A and B are shown apart, each in its own frame.
Chain A
Amino acid sequence: MDTKTHISVRNLNVHYKESHALRNINIDIPDKKITVILGPSGCGKSTLLKCFNRLIDTVEDVKVTGQVLVDGEDLFSPDAEVTHIRKKMGLLSQRPVPLPMSIYDNVAYGPRLHGLRKRAALDAIVEKHLKMASLWDEVEGRLHEPASKLSIGQQQRLCLARGLAVGPEIILGDEPTSALDPKSSRHIEQRFLELKNEYTIVIVTHILRQAKRLADYVVFLYLGELIEHGPAQEMFENPKEEMTREYMKGIIS
């Protein structure tokens, strides 16, 4: 298997006020594949994701040691420019969070942040990414309506379009379909499968079946520790660790 690494995590430790949320994590996330991070609630999956786009910075009283290397550069080095890092990462959160503006402005928000002003260019970007999220057909005529008017499934696709519009290399998904109905969930999963050809995708989920549908590579976390990781097929059918086996069988959840 041609496993070029996109993200390298080295000795990552995250301490919240009293708890040791991530303990000595060492993984290599493969390039242009879907990596699924599995584990029971509270195991540190979201924390790990927050480290990738440095949203961990916004949490109070947190201490991070170790390295997260993307294309060889450490995200946590003191010279690292945080807004550039975040631009490389697109985040799809658990509950769709539309910004308080129109559909158009939501998608254009990112490009505008980074300096793009020309109307024609913005129009093109909005259209392109709404199409990528397969939302274009449903909103074509009403781009200037408030985003809050969309259904929850549509909002999540809007968030996907918005995240893609900044031109990331890596897409992060924090339980991206857990708030959606089955049809919308399927929609989002489809998009991920299509997008993996161009982006590295890291998804956190606790839905085993979703993981089986999407994953190329699986990482299993338990109580902040990396228990096991490997190609999807191996992890699902023949895991090496006892705990992984129990989780896959649905015993621990």
Chain B
Amino acid sequence: MPEGRLIADKMAKCLTVFLVGAAGVVLFLIGIGLLVKAEPILGAKSLGDLLFSSNWRPFRGEFGFFPFIMGTAWVTAVAVVLAVPFSVLTALYLSEYAHRRIRAVAAPMVDLLAGIPSVVFGIWGVLAVVPMVRSLAMDVFGIPCTGYSVLTAGIVLALMVCPIVIHVTLEVLRAVPNDVRDVSLALGATKWQTTKLVVLRKALPGIGAAVIMGVSRAFGETMAVLMVAGNVVRAPDSLFSPAYPLPALIANNYGEMLSIPMYDAALMLAALMLFVVVVVFNAAAKLVLQHLAKGVQ
């Protein structure tokens, strides 16, 4: 009878360790899977051609990803530029200044914001942001604009990126030991001087990691940008021009994927591009955070 549970234990060990290994490997499996599916187009065209050409005519077999890459870049840049200052300032406030009760209310609200699905952000974007940007462009600047633009997508994305930057920054700030703050105060510094000169200084690499994770999130976001970015196949040249980010490209065209030769490989390549960039960014951010957690200054 005792044998039974010992056997069960051994089996459980094999199973779980195997699954742990599998979990580690899934990342590579996905990468390889995408690569395999994208292979036809990678073999047929040069990488330079794919990345830098603006000719997107799938019917003719021309796949220049430049407009989409630029679209993604512009929208991500706007989102990050908008999100980072607000996020870091909010995190600083909640961590260093806010009364315990305010923090108890605000922190869950930030987490709730993180849970709102992409479509809902998109729909709100269509409802509230598009008209605002349209009137901003046309009434204030006199630029023709439908309202579906880089700026619109950037604003919506910024709100989606804030929660993650705030969350990670809060954790990093919490990890700064209190005695360093006390020392600064004891030398006669004001709270702000302490925050600026000591706390931020110690937390800076961690905040960098938080920003990188935010960039990553903005990069791969699909539904919300699909609904507000405009989806015109042309690299954007101003904040008010429409953009066609890579995720939107994939989402919009999966229907035609199988009817045009090499179209599926092209879209898989787009997915692969997103995958590689996000993995590199996230891995870098994680490494920085791990390094910090080990207590190296």
Contacts and interface: CB of A to CB of B under 8 A. Distances in A.
Contacts of A163: 186-187
Contacts of B179: 93, 95, 97
Interface string B177-221: 001111111111110010001100110000000000000000000
A89 B186 CA distance: 8
A91 B297 contact: no
Dominant secondary structure of chain B at its interface with chain A:
helix
B261 to A, nearest CB: 58
B180 A86 contact: no
Nearest to A110: B187
B100 A86 contact: no
A114 B189 CA distance: 8
A110 B188 contact: yes
Contacts of A101: 201
A109 B197 contact: yes
A99 B188 contact: no
B190 A83 contact: yes
Contacts of A159: 183
Contacts of A109: 184, 187, 197
A43 to B, nearest CB: 21
A32 interface: no
Nearest to A172: B186
A93 B183 contact: yes
B72 to A, nearest CB: 36
Interface in A58-85: 58, 60, 83-84
- Range of interface residues on chain B? 10 to 19
A97 B189 CA distance: 16
Contacts of B181: 58
Nearest to B99: A60
A83 B198 CA distance: 16
Contacts of B193: 113
A14 interface: no
Contacts of A84: 188
B188 A166 contact: yes
A182 to B, nearest CB: 24
Contact of B186 (A86, A114, A146): A86
A166 B200 CA distance: 22
A160 to B, nearest CB: 12
A29 B296 CA distance: 41
Interface of A: 53, 55, 58, 60, 83-84, 86-87, 89-91, 93, 95, 97, 99-101, 109-110, 113-114, 146, 148, 159, 162-163, 166
The 3 closest A-B pairs by CB, nearest first: A87-B188, A91-B186, A86-B188
